[in-house]
Structure 1
Amino acid sequence: MINILKNLSLISLIGICFYLGTWQIDRGQDKLSIQRDFESQINTEYSDIKQLVDKPVRYKKLYATGIFDESFFLLDNIVFKRKAGYYVISPLIIGDKVLLVNRGWVDNHSRQKYPLIETPKSMVTIKGYVKYPMQLLELSSNNITKKKPYVIQNINTKQISKILNKDIYPFIINLNEENQYAYTYIPIKNKNNHLKHYMYAGQWFLFTIIGMFFLFILNRRKNGKS
């Protein structure tokens, strides 16, 4: 009975290690795809968002003209230089649609007092690159607060569309560093990010092999005794 439990435990650990290894491989492939998108777009010219026909690739350079809505969203749990803060997400109204614009990072000085965000009143033209919302860690069951300023844990375009009562582009634009409406710019770090995931995958596969070795030894001893 004890040997059966040992076998089941080892098999479970082997399965978990193998799964984590394949998961890290998938993560590495995703990061490699992101890096390739970045490299393919870095030297291209800016395109008018109104001329888009298909869904743009990540990091495609776009410019857009519109008016910022007075509402804004603070994307929570963004750490920069070991400080907690927010990304400022401002809706840019372009005709009958809305483009979510990431204006950069601001410090979270206090949970009781939100940062003062200035919103331009006149027509503006912004330039930036395309990013698609990613699922971040949620520290609360509610993704978005009910009162202004709206604090969000993830960019959920459907929720924001309901609040603004307008259709929203399925991507966001990260403002360029030199843009006059931008706050603190966090540099892009894409180069060779995939390699660490392949390294982690190698470690998990090594643990898988070690687990299989111990499983072999355990059953070999069992067969020797019998």
Structure 2
Amino acid sequence: MPAKKISVPLIRNWPVTLLSAGLFPILIALGLWQLQRAGEKAVLSAELNARLSAQPVEPAMMRGFERYTPIKLTGFFAEDYFLLDNRTRAGRIGYEVLQVFVTPEAHWLINRGWVPAPNRRTLLPKIPVSQGIRTINGFLYPVAESTPTKHLPETLPERRIQSLDTRFTRALGVNNEKWSLRLSADSNAALVTDWLWINSGPERHRAYALQWFTMAVVLAILWAFTATRFSALSKYENK
């Protein structure tokens, strides 16, 4: 007589199944999001490389401002400077030096680069003085929008500042409050530059995407072995 087939329920652990069903699309969505971020970073990297390799131009020749655009200015540095706190180079804490540069057409906020912090917090670093008329080269970099405040007066802070935003640039009276100029390494009056233009490249996001997709595959395998009867059915059918 032929063997009678036995009906065996496929799912044997519904709590694990429901949990896996909720986690699986989340892991896939995170992987797709990281791939999207990788694409955005690839476009940004190409844009960055193209602009950083271009020849600097004078602002009067530009139709509009775009980040990373190399420009050159002729003028002189104002006497006052400010120290942007908690900036690191090679693991060492220091400051980025901010100073206004005066040209016949406008006042610009210049980031001259990085200097190490003294061993004592109460001390401030000595900044090399840059006097006289000079031509400087640098790259346009956006200034963060300031958070809304309750009509606080826009007065200049102490020499040491914690963040660079449009409230600070408005207090300085620069003409282009939403933009600063990061000096190029070979520019006159530049300090230590080594600018970090992009926090992470597309390769890192692709690696994150692979991790999320791998976790999704592992989750599916664990679900199949812990919450279903695939293994039991395969053994029964082989008999």
TM-score range, shorter chain: 0.7 to 0.9
Unaligned runs of 5+ in 2: 1-12, 146-154, 233-239
Question: Are the counterparts in 1 of residues 69 and 139 from structure 2 also a CA contact under 8 Å?
Answer: yes
Residue from 204, 224, 228 that aligns with 1:196:
204
Distance of aligned partners of 1:60 and 1:167 in 2 relative to their CA distance in 1, 3 Å threshold: closer
Cα distance in 2 for residues equivalent to 1:16 and 1:77 = 36
> 1:98 aligns to what?
107
Question: Are the counterparts in 2 of residues 67 and 122 from structure 1 also a CA contact under 8 Å?
Answer: yes
Please give the per-residue CA displacement for 1:82-102, whole angstroms capped at 9, x wherever unaligned.
211222222223456432222
Give the drift of 1:121: 4.2
> 1:44 aligns to what?
54
Distance of aligned partners of 1:180 and 1:162 in 2 relative to their CA distance in 1, 3 Å threshold: closer
When the two structures are superposed, what TM-score results if normalisation uses the length of structure 2?
0.70
Residue from 115, 133, 158 that aligns with 1:123:
133
Cα distance in 2 for residues equivalent to 1:97 and 1:150 = 25
Give the drift of 1:181: 0.8
Asked if residue 64 in structure 1 is aligned to residue 85 in structure 2, the reply is no
For 1:41, the aligned partner's letter is: R
Please give the per-residue CA displacement for 1:133-184, whole angstroms capped at 9, x wherever unaligned.
479xxxxxxxxx974213223x31x212332134325332221212231111
Residue from 167, 178, 182 that aligns with 1:170:
178
Q: Secondary structure at the match of 1:168?
A: coil
Unaligned runs of 5+ in 1: 136-144
> 2:91 aligns to what?
82
Asked if residue 214 in structure 1 is aligned to residue 222 in structure 2, the reply is yes
Give the drift of 1:103: 0.9
Give the drift of 1:198: 0.8
Aligned residues: 208
Question: Are the counterparts in 1 of residues 41 and 201 from structure 2 also a CA contact under 8 Å?
Answer: yes
Question: Are the counterparts in 2 of residues 62 and 129 from structure 1 also a CA contact under 8 Å?
Answer: yes
Let me know the Cα RMSD of the aligned residues: 3.4
Distance of aligned partners of 1:200 and 1:70 in 2 relative to their CA distance in 1, 3 Å threshold: same
Which of the pair has more CA radius of gyration? 2
Distance of aligned partners of 1:60 and 1:96 in 2 relative to their CA distance in 1, 3 Å threshold: closer
For 1:62, the aligned partner's letter is: I
Cα distance in 1 for residues equivalent to 2:107 and 2:17 = 57
> 1:107 aligns to what?
116
Cα distance in 1 for residues equivalent to 2:25 and 2:122 = 46
Cα distance in 2 for residues equivalent to 1:117 and 1:9 = 59
Question: Are the counterparts in 1 of residues 101 and 110 from structure 2 also a CA contact under 8 Å?
Answer: yes
Cα distance in 1 for residues equivalent to 2:26 and 2:104 = 51
Q: Secondary structure at the match of 2:79?
A: coil
Cα distance in 1 for residues equivalent to 2:181 and 2:106 = 14
Question: Are the counterparts in 2 of residues 96 and 167 from structure 1 also a CA contact under 8 Å?
Answer: no
Cα distance in 2 for residues equivalent to 1:89 and 1:30 = 30
Cα distance in 2 for residues equivalent to 1:85 and 1:38 = 26
Cα distance in 2 for residues equivalent to 1:90 and 1:30 = 32
> 2:63 aligns to what?
53
Between 1:72-81 and 1:198-207, the stretch displaced more is 72-81
Cα distance in 2 for residues equivalent to 1:206 and 1:159 = 45
Give the drift of 1:218: 4.9
Distance of aligned partners of 1:26 and 1:176 in 2 relative to their CA distance in 1, 3 Å threshold: same
Cα distance in 2 for residues equivalent to 1:217 and 1:65 = 71
